[in-house]
Chain A
Amino acid sequence: MNPYLSGILLGLVLLAAMFLSGRGLGASGGIKDTVVAVVGAVDKQHAMNTPYYSKYYQNGEHPLKNWLTLEIFGMVVGGFLSGALSHRLKFKIEKSPKISNRRRLLFAFLGGLFFVYGAQLARGCTSGAALSGMAVLSVAGFVTMAAIFGSAYLFAWFFRKLWI
């Protein structure tokens, strides 16, 4: 789809979230909630004793029963629908032909690790902090956006072999 048109579509979805629920979109929060749920299931004692987890268990609700997690389930469904419509459903590892599968997956893993760690620190990722933040004119949104893109451009040279 034309990038500007899909941008408008994405903007309208964000606007709908603001209008219906009074909040922006998010993704990394849902990932964290999943981890909280997993940790809680594996070692409840540990979850109760660690300050960061325990606040999710204080009110007695399951950590997966919240807005962001439900939104992420929806995202999977929506992405699948779109992929089916555009005939893009296929299991594959996307990478530059110059690198091996193993290398791609290793860096994908590291990338995810860094990204979500940073997102937890900045209280949101590209969607939760940068995009939604900019839409409500939050200074945090603009600063996070500038930091993400600035640092990615900075590091782009070091990782160029991965992509070009």
Chain B
Amino acid sequence: MGPISIISEFPEWLNLLIAFFIGIGFGFALEQAGFSSSRRLAGMFYGYDTTVIKVFFTAAIVALAGSQLLSFFGLLNLKLVFVNPYYVNSAILGGIIMGAGFIMGGYCPGTSISALSIGKIDAMIFLLGGMVGAFLFMETYPFIQTIAMENYKGNMRIDEWLGVSSGVFTLLLIIAAVAMFWIAELAEKKFNRPDITSDI
């Protein structure tokens, strides 16, 4: 029964080893998805390449459905899986800042690491900028502390919030995702940019 490292109280080194192997899988999957290319990632926002939305939603749904099935078969205790805390203001404000960073840099932190590993120099600079960003955040933390802590809602789950069962919510999410995949492929045809897509 999982989560294994919590239930069986793994020693720290073993948990860190697991982290390393999970990281290998994560980096491999991101690179295989083509996320090591900033122009492909940016294509999401200009319509010529919509890989991002396909990979992102498929991954989220697979993990979501998989965890619920594991829980149904008594193999995973979802109560012991971390649920991100919901700070309304900072989630929205942080998301907006991240969106701006995304379109400027063409990467997000995870994809920049995978791009760095195959030698993209712009990804290295992006990461350098990221480290400066983290440094600035920590130095300015006293000033934005109030924003960061405002409007705390706890570890809120969306199915409880909407009052539907998690399975029904997952189905709704899947239907929305399938519709988005369809629109995405239409967009790819409409905003077709062979000069860029052949390049990446």
Contacts and interface: CB of A to CB of B under 8 A. Distances in A.
A–B contact with Cβ pairs below 8 Å: the answer is yes
Interface of A: 1, 3-4, 6-25, 27-28, 31-32, 34-36, 38-39, 50-53, 65-68, 70-83, 86, 88-96, 104-105, 107-156, 158-160, 162-164
A84 B57 CA distance: 26
A116 B104 contact: no
The 3 closest A-B pairs by CB, nearest first: A111-B105, A74-B23, A147-B95
B24 to A, nearest CB: 4
Given A13-B25, A121-B147, A156 B103 contact: yes
Contact of A8 (B5, B59, B117, B121): B59
B23 A139 contact: no
A159 B27 CA distance: 28
A141 B157 CA distance: 9
8 contacts: A7-B55, A11-B66, A31-B130, A52-B141, A71-B26, A91-B121, A118-B101, A144-B98
B93 interface: yes
Main secondary structure of the interface of B (DSSP, over half): helix
B174 interface: no
Contact of B84 (A1, A39, A66, A136): A136
A77 B63 CA distance: 23
B119 to A, nearest CB: 4
Contacts of B30: 10, 75, 79
Contacts, number: 521
Contacts of B119: 83, 89-92
Q: Is the interface of A mostly helix, strand, loop or mixed?
A: helix
B158 A149 contact: no
B143 to A, nearest CB: 12
Nearest to A82: B31
A153 B133 CA distance: 22
A112 B113 contact: no
Interface string B100-137: 11111111111111111111111101111111111111
Nearest to B76: A19
Contacts of B85: 123, 140
Given A74-B19, A121-B148, 8 more contacts: A13-B22, A53-B138, A94-B106, A112-B133, A115-B97, A136-B67, A141-B84, A147-B91
Interface string B50-86: 0100111111111110110010000110101111111
Contact of B5 (A6, A20, A90): A20
A114 B38 contact: no
B129 A109 contact: yes
A154 B99 contact: yes
